[in-house]
Amino acid sequence: MTDSSSDAPGKPAPSGQAMWGGRFSDKPAELMQAINVSIGFDRRLAAQDLEGSRAHAAMLQKTGVITSEDAQAILGGLDKIGAEIEAGTFPFREEFEDIHMNVEARLTELIGPAAGRLHTARSRNDQIALDFRMWVREACDRTLAQIKGLQRALIAKAEPNAATLMPGFTHLQPAQPVTFGHHLMAYVEMFGRDAGRFADARQRMNESPLGAAALAGSPFPIDRHMTAQALGFDAPLANSLDAVADRDFALEALAAATICAVHLSRLAEEIVIWMTPQFGFIKLTDAFTSGSSIMPQKKNPDAAELVRAKAGRMLGAFTQLAVVMKGLPLTYSKDMQEDKVPAFEAFDALELSLRAMAGMVADLQPAVETMEKAAGAGFSTATDLADWLVRELGLPFREAHHITGAAVKRAEQLGCDLPSLPLTDLQALEPRITQSVYKVLTPAASVASRMSYGGTAPDQVRGQIKRWKEILA
């Protein structure tokens, strides 16, 4: 059987004429060419395009749509093109618009008329849907691996700091003492959910659009299950219209990327804050900092700041693609050519950010004494006093809360913290308070008491570290 396209089988397009030029008698205007050409960016899909074409050719041969001789010539030509791309000698040409037509044009130059049979029973619509879906799938795989690398870096830093005291904050005000290890493990949990989102998205996108052709399917006796299996998909997409029109696989991946970038940005912001002299909680080496052209004393956490900023790229990419898709009727519209650049840029930025953050986490060193001193500031053990009043004296929590608030006010008047507030002042508020109350008013005692599941007690933190090591093993 032969190619069902409008071009005569085996006859390449005349030089300078588009591969689809049978219907047209003149070249596109220069401006049309400029806005229409995508080879400048979709050349990144070359590997996926070749892989899809190999699977398609093998299927066409097996189903008898093309001869074994043509199939072998096509596969051999595709291998030569792959080698040229690998070597950097492939002639990418704007006159052929996109990666598909560039490959087909070069294949025609290499093997002659047999090249024209490769496009039988497929369209650029299902071809680009396939290539892009495969690229996003691979991007999810890379991102998953990098997230796990960052989680391992966080765990490696958390383990020796499972008991290192630091202040926990709400509203960026001292709230209750926690441990540095507990704080880092919070991000392990966040990035674990990010990994789950990418894994879920990957599973949902793992259906093949190849064989849907332009939009309605193919009249040839093709085997879509064969190509799906060859390309690592679970199955072919069940509706040919959906197969070529769908980009929610990219939207879902970009949504996962955006949430992951938000988590990266939050951690980056904390690194920036912790690096300030006002906090002084951590130090970064020269490897992840930079200086100033005018102020010799400066050591800026530029890597963290750039990770924080790059979150905007992911959010922008998701928004851009959502806006492109929101008004499109079924099936394919040329608007969808604008799906790839934001996805490429977003995943490039995300992968770089994940690697940079893993490097910073491994590099940073906590200033233990500074953090421990800060852990007791701002009356951070006030809740422990209230809990003691409830537990030891049986007071209702609201009454205990009121007494504790008054104790904090008295400590402010005396210019001391709660552990230094005289017992007589405490007993003036509640006569039954005894000397034993001071045992719960240190940051170390506060942290050690938080033994509920998921709490900041060092043993709980070590338990969560052990759990995550097993998950990531």
User: What are the catalytic residues?
Assistant: 171, 292
Question: Cβ neighbours of residue 246 under 8 Å, at least 6 residues apart?
Answer: 129, 209, 237
Can you read off the two tokens belonging to residue 191?
């990035």
Q: Are 144 and 40 in contact (CB under 8 A)?
A: no
Q: Are 119 and 5 in contact (CB under 8 A)?
A: yes
Distances (CA, A) of 78 to 21, 48, 109, 127: 23, 12, 12, 15
Secondary structure letter of residue 43 according to DSSP: G
Give the distance, in angstroms, between the CA of residue 95 and the centroid of all CA atoms in the same chain.
35
Q: Residue 471 carries which side chain, given as an amino acid letter?
A: I
**Separation between Cα atoms, residue 222 and residue 56, nearest integer Å:** 9
**Separation between Cα atoms, residue 192 and residue 189, nearest integer Å:** 5
Torsions phi, psi of 129, nearest 5?
A: -60, -40
Closest listed residue to residue 257, CA positions, set 343, 366, 170: 343
Closest listed residue to residue 324, CA positions, set 333, 311, 315: 333
**Separation between Cα atoms, residue 45 and residue 343, nearest integer Å:** 12
User: Half-sphere exposure (CA, 13 Å, Cβ side) for 240?
Assistant: 14
